[in-house]
Structure 1
Amino acid sequence: MLSEPTYLAARIVAPALAVHFAQHWAEVARLGSGIQPAPPTATLLEALIDVAFWASLRREEGRPPRISLALLDPTAASQPLLFSHRLRLTPQVLSKLAPAVEHPGIHLGVGYDEEGLYIWGTASQVPPVCFVLEVVEPGLLVVKHRRADGFGKFSNVAVLRGDQIRIVDEETQGLADYPTLQASLPAIPCRASEPGSVTVDVLLELARAMRAHGRGGLLLLVPPGSAAWRTSIVAPLGYPLAPAYNSIAALLASPDRTHRDWQQNLLDAIEIVGGFTAVDGATVLTRHYELLAFGAKVTRRAESTPVEQLVVTEPVIGRSAALVHPAKNGGTRHLAAAQFVHDQHEAVALVASQDGNFTVFSWSENMQLVHAHRIDVLLL
């Protein structure tokens, strides 16, 4: 029997999560993607989130737990590690097991029966649309599932931070009421692709690579074959490349995208570019993902005016667009990104903050404003 949950956010978010996973489960089952765990009920999800939240507040030898929980039967996992007997799912048990499963890609397998939730072992491979709950830090939980095509990271569904709940809007990216803003965004997918297809969400993977080093960074995507962006950069360039580093572009042009080596090589190339963003200054990339320079200093174009206002959005259900002054949207990197896009309408700027926030800046032609779209909810 499931114990009565006491984490209110779990009770609030569980019904919406149950609907989400049921819808995706039906899609994957229709397309025939092998064995899939049955979609979980709201009651089960509430109980699991409740235990994980209280476990996140505990410490084992002075360290908070970092755990990933996968709700599935061991028969649905690939080469699972099975415990000789089941362990009851409690905050104490999770905190005790956490040191053994902190390595990325390892999930504690959680099952359930008439007696409640239990831990049966670990899994490194889980099927698409399997409910995964990650304990990131004390009070911070992320609900996600593996992408159907198996490429890149998991797709985030919701983020819970204490009493704050953010559910990813994978259909309209939080812009249902703002079609002009939605049209101004570059391709930032929220929704996992269908089984059997291989999509390359390079922009999202670049964002993750930039965020991973934790130093903050600024990446400028400029039109290929144009030098207009140089009017917004202090001369001379800090670290220009000759020739441009084009590994990402070359891999994207490859006719064969199905083999695992291609996927890993592309991720490796993205990681290399993301690493350069840790250097002070801006990293400059063409829209075809050719690396031109790094360590560049952004400046206002001679004939331009300072940015006075921008519109801020987030791919979260229920959030509205807000008009703010650039100084209230972030620090110097955010100001530089907003000014660069204000002066270079064909460019896109990506900003990673040291605190984990991530913003994509683009130009809205219809509103004649810089559009700042916060996507950190997709990257946790």
Structure 2
Amino acid sequence: MLSEPTYLAARMVAPALAVHFAQHWAAAARLSAVPLAPPPPAALIEAVIDVAFWASLRREEGRPPRISLALLAPEDAVQPLRFAHQLRLTPQALIKLAPAVEQPGIHLGIGEDDKGLYVWGTATHIPPVCFVLEVVEPGLLVAKHRRADGFGKFVNVAVLRGDQVRVVDEENLGLADCPVLRESLPAITLSSSATAGSGPTVEVLLELARAMRAHGRGGLVLLVPTGSDAWQESIVQPLSYPVAPAYDEVATLLAEPDHTQRDWQDTL
């Protein structure tokens, strides 16, 4: 039995998230042969968000928890690490487990039985469209899931910061919906299309920008011509971290035949 949640934002956003995951699960089930974890109902989503939120406000040895929760059964994960005994999903349990799962890509597996929610272990490989809740910092949670098409790692669905809830607008996620942004990009060939029917076009500049945004500390990409150092006259000298010889990994990646797999994008 699920306890009564007390985090109001969880109750506000849970129905919309349940609809999102149900719709995406149905679409992924039609297009993919990969086994999928069942879409969670609103009550389950609300309960997980509630516990994670209150856990985010606590500290263990002076440090707030940074954890990722995946709502799925052990059978739905690939080579999961299972605890000998299930742990009830409580804020106290999460802050105790947090130091062991802070590394990116490690998720605490969350299940449900007649007693409520519990932590069954950890997983590093989860199926597409599996509900994932990341505790980023105190009071800041992000609901997301792996992309069903394999293009990119995760797609954010909702961001909760205290009593503020922001559901990501799926209708305006693509570059095609941002003509001003696209026109602002340099008119150079830094994109590559995979073979016909194998997947979406990879926009290298956007993938680089996405990777830079991931750490949340800002950054700048400067595109310069080859065979000339004249551009250095516009840069404050000396450069703090010059790279020599020129880094050509992007060109190497573009020469590969398949640019739709996640490993290719991870290399960027």
TM-score when normalising by structure 2: 0.80
Deviation track 1:86-126 (CA, whole Å, cap 9, x = no partner) reads: 11111011111111111111110001123211111111100
C-alpha distance 199-59 of structure 1, shift in aligned 2 (>3 A): farther
Partner of 1:109: 109
C-alpha distance 160-219 of structure 1, shift in aligned 2 (>3 A): same
> May I ask how many residue pairs the two structures share in their alignment?
251
**1: CA distance between counterparts of 2:62 and 2:244?**
49
Bigger proportion of residues as strand: 1
Does residue 1:78 correspond to 2:78, yes or no?
A: yes
C-alpha distance 235-125 of structure 1, shift in aligned 2 (>3 A): closer
Q: 8 Å contact 1:146–1:155 — kept in the other structure?
A: yes
C-alpha distance 244-97 of structure 1, shift in aligned 2 (>3 A): closer
C-alpha distance 46-259 of structure 1, shift in aligned 2 (>3 A): closer
SS at match of 2:178: helix
Task: Name the % identity.
Answer: 70
Partner of 2:172: 172
**1: CA distance between counterparts of 2:159 and 2:83?**
30
Partner of 1:186: 182
C-alpha distance 64-218 of structure 1, shift in aligned 2 (>3 A): same
Does residue 1:159 correspond to 2:141, yes or no?
A: no
SS at match of 1:49: helix
Partner of 1:206: 208
Shift of 1:61: 1.1
Q: 8 Å contact 1:205–1:267 — kept in the other structure?
A: no
C-alpha distance 22-212 of structure 1, shift in aligned 2 (>3 A): closer
Does residue 1:94 correspond to 2:90, yes or no?
A: no
Deviation track 1:34-58 (CA, whole Å, cap 9, x = no partner) reads: 2111111111101100000000001
SS at match of 2:20: helix
Partner of 2:220: 218
Partner of 1:65: 65
Stretches of structure 2 that go unaligned for 5 or more consecutive residues are: 186-197
Q: 8 Å contact 2:5–2:46 — kept in the other structure?
A: yes
Stretches of structure 1 that go unaligned for 5 or more consecutive residues are: 189-195, 271-380
AA aligned opposite 2:178: Q
Shift of 1:250: 3.6
AA aligned opposite 2:141: L
Does residue 1:5 correspond to 2:1, yes or no?
A: no
AA aligned opposite 1:2: L
C-alpha distance 84-242 of structure 1, shift in aligned 2 (>3 A): closer
Shift of 1:218: 2.1
**1: CA distance between counterparts of 2:8 and 2:149?**
34
**1: CA distance between counterparts of 2:92 and 2:244?**
56
Bigger proportion of residues as helix: 2
AA aligned opposite 1:254: E
Does residue 1:23 correspond to 2:19, yes or no?
A: no
C-alpha distance 124-59 of structure 1, shift in aligned 2 (>3 A): same
AA aligned opposite 2:204: V
Q: 8 Å contact 1:80–1:124 — kept in the other structure?
A: yes
C-alpha distance 2-201 of structure 1, shift in aligned 2 (>3 A): farther
Q: 8 Å contact 1:146–1:153 — kept in the other structure?
A: yes
C-alpha distance 259-65 of structure 1, shift in aligned 2 (>3 A): closer
Shift of 1:234: 2.9
Does residue 1:252 correspond to 2:254, yes or no?
A: yes
Shift of 1:22: 0.7
Shift of 1:198: 6.1
AA aligned opposite 2:209: A
Q: 8 Å contact 2:150–2:260 — kept in the other structure?
A: no
C-alpha distance 102-241 of structure 1, shift in aligned 2 (>3 A): closer
C-alpha distance 212-138 of structure 1, shift in aligned 2 (>3 A): same
SS at match of 2:220: strand
Deviation track 1:131-155 (CA, whole Å, cap 9, x = no partner) reads: 0000011001011111224454311
| Alignment RMSD (CA, Å) | 3.4
Partner of 1:313: none
AA aligned opposite 1:219: V
Query: Mapping of 1:237-276 within 5 angstroms?
Result: 245-257=247-259, 263-264=263-264, 267-268=266-267, 270=268
Shift of 1:158: 1.1
SS at match of 1:22: helix
C-alpha distance 129-111 of structure 1, shift in aligned 2 (>3 A): same
**2: CA distance between counterparts of 1:78 and 1:241?**
39
